[in-house]
Chains A and B, each alone.
Chain A
Amino acid sequence: MTDPQSIPASVPLWRAAHGRTGDKGNRSNISVIAWHPALYPLIEAQITEAAVASAFAHRRPTRVQRFCLPQLQAMNFVLDEVLDGGVNDALNLDSHGKALSFLLLDLPLQVPAALLPLLRGSVC
């Protein structure tokens, strides 16, 4: 019989990490910073360039790059051409794309039961 404690839970990434968006021209960068060092390997394994490209598909990025900084328990995503031209050209109210970190932080993350106490926020 499977031990229910060993079944991973799917949680939104914001429970395991936080981040901030920066912009330069038509390029956005979004940091993803684990709340705890023990959560970082899970995040690095699951929050891939492909996963982020998929979450931003409607923004039609021409390139998604990921840079890993394990000693900071952090990753930096760089998304090219996702700002509809950027601060001067986009029709978006948020022409900087400041809100986009919260789109990334909605990605699902599978977390083993043993690590659930490290998550923040009580509900999904």
Chain B
Amino acid sequence: MTSPSLLRIACAAGFSGDRTDAAGPVVDALIAAGGPAVLIFETLAERTLALAQLARRADASAGYEPLLDDLLRPVLARCLQHGVHIVSNFGAANPDGAARHIRRLAAELGLPPPRIAVVQGDDVSGPAFRPLLRSALGPALDQRPVVSANAYLGAEAIAEALRAGAQVVVCGRVADPSLAVGPAMAHFGWAADDWTRLARATMAGHLLECGTQVSGGYYADPGVKDVPGMATLGYPIAEIDADGHCVITKPPGSGGRVDLHTVTEQLLYEVHDPAAYLTPDVVADLSAATLTELAPDRVRLAGVVGRVRPDSLKANVCFETGWLAEGEIGYAGARAEGRARLAAQVLRERLAGLGPLRADLIGVASLFGDDAGLWLADQPDGGARDVRLRVALRHNERAAAERLTREVTALYTCGPAGGGGVRTAVRPTLGTLSCLLPRAAVPAGFHWLEEPP
């Protein structure tokens, strides 16, 4: 018996807000390569799901990836016609809504109804789960309006859906790498305790999950780290073999680069202890991982091993925390920095007692600094001639937060000379608490949007 052929998995989105024209070139590359292939979209950062839950509250048919149509319309027909499976967490807070949207889209395109599976079980915001969350988090949530609560599911339900014949698998919260592990499990017939193969596929998924961050995106630094073709970056493709090892590449002719350095940056991205990268599927160990440049834009990852998966699942609970107020005003020319610093001091006095006020001098010190202002206080006036003052504070009451915006606006007449370009905003804020839930308490599975014929 011959071993199953390579599985190609391409990722056409690394977050909600990624380029929406990404999928076309990777789908072309998958079809040209032939063989089994999967297209994944990762669109669900930590906070995205809570925002989706708020959108669903406002409109019961919303709550999934708002750009779903833009992502899929250009490639859905080709994927379905050429057997490229689609797996994504773009279901967000309303996976059934996303699945219905895809069915409508297929009909609009004149395609036969696709077999769409919906992964369920991640949403633990219902009343039945409240005692479980209370015991995991303690009283922290008692006074907080909960917006969303979701467990990070693993790959098993995705694999089951694909084995059952799904052409499209719509998920809500699943661990990002599981979007790749599920298809690999289904394709190669791996068991859910084949730890080392699952760990290797997990790291392939990890390299894919942020889109072009592995293929030249988020990397360039002119003169030090040069990247060709950044306006046409190629999204990554992982060629996964039957042992889970992978080669990372990108579509021929696309911009960007895949080399030891771009891949190493992404391999360690959001990793803590490299000997224990935890997902719902496995604990992956990168201690002996190696990368090899096989050819231009082809890098092989090997040496990853796996250990038994955690007993519990991580869950994120998002809740309303109040209001964030921000305001900006700009100064230019002689002594601009001094005038901006004076404006900050005026605002500190006017807003004293309202809570900690953060002040940044954009163009001087705005990102490395801490909220308490220790960094900025250490930077002497460097005589910058084009500076924007930005201030921010948080408050439980909207009316109190709005005082900041009025005080920044009042700098037009009461502030230092020559201030201009005031911009202010007040928006609601969300907090997140993480906890671990017993795996058995969060049963995952899938259902069909429509029974396949």
Contacts and interface: CB of A to CB of B under 8 A. Distances in A.
A91 B269 CA distance: 23
B356 A91 contact: yes
Nearest to B357: A91
Contacts of B275: 67
B321 A88 contact: yes
Interface string A44-85: 000000000000001110000101010111101010000010
Interface string B328-371: 00000000000000000000000000001010100000111111
B442 interface: no
A25 B432 contact: yes
A90 to B, nearest CB: 6
B265 A33 contact: yes
Nearest to B429: A88
Contacts of B221: 18
Contacts of A87: 46-47
A122 to B, nearest CB: 8
B431 interface: yes
B272 A93 contact: no
A73 B265 CA distance: 11
A123 B80 CA distance: 53
A23 B268 CA distance: 11
Nearest to B375: A58
B184 to A, nearest CB: 23
B264 interface: yes
Q: Which bracket fits the contact residues of A?
A: 35 or more
B268 A71 contact: no
Contact of B431 (A29, A89, A92): A89
A18 B224 CA distance: 9
A20 B268 contact: yes
Nearest to B430: A88
B47 A93 contact: no
B272 A18 contact: no
A19 interface: yes
A118 B274 CA distance: 27
B268 A76 contact: yes
B374 interface: yes
A99 B275 CA distance: 26
B378 interface: yes
A59, A91, A94 pick with most chain B CB within 10 angstroms? A91
Contacts, number: 119
Nearest to A100: B368
A113 to B, nearest CB: 21
Contacts of A14: 224
B61 interface: no
Interface residues of B, number: 53
A38 B434 CA distance: 41
Interface stretch (B86-94, B131-139, B196-204, B286-294): B286-294
A91 to B, nearest CB: 4
A72 B291 contact: yes
A37 B47 CA distance: 38
Interface stretch (B103-111, B388-396, B410-418): B388-396
A108 interface: no
Nearest to B225: A18
A59 B269 CA distance: 21
Contacts of A67: 273-275
Contacts of A22: 268-271
B267 interface: yes
A91 B369 CA distance: 10
Contacts of B264: 31, 33, 72-74
Given A69-B274, A72-B289, A91-B371, A31 B268 contact: yes
B370 A29 contact: no
B269 A31 contact: yes
Contacts of A29: 268-272
A92 B369 contact: yes
B218 interface: yes
A18 B265 contact: yes
B269 A20 contact: yes
B270 A24 contact: yes
Contacts of B356: 91
A14 B224 CA distance: 9
Query: Which 7 residue pairs across A and B have the least CB separation, nearest first?
Result: A22-B270, A91-B358, A31-B268, A99-B367, A84-B371, A58-B374, A91-B392
14 contacts: A19-B265, A24-B46, A25-B434, A29-B269, A31-B264, A31-B268, A72-B289, A76-B272, A87-B47, A88-B321, A89-B431, A91-B358, A91-B371, A94-B367
Interface of A: 14-15, 18-20, 22-25, 27, 29, 31, 33, 35, 58-60, 65, 67, 69, 71-74, 76, 78, 84, 86-94, 99-100, 103, 120-122
Given A33-B261, A71-B303, A92-B370, 8 more contacts: A19-B265, A29-B270, A29-B272, A67-B273, A72-B290, A91-B356, A91-B371, A92-B360
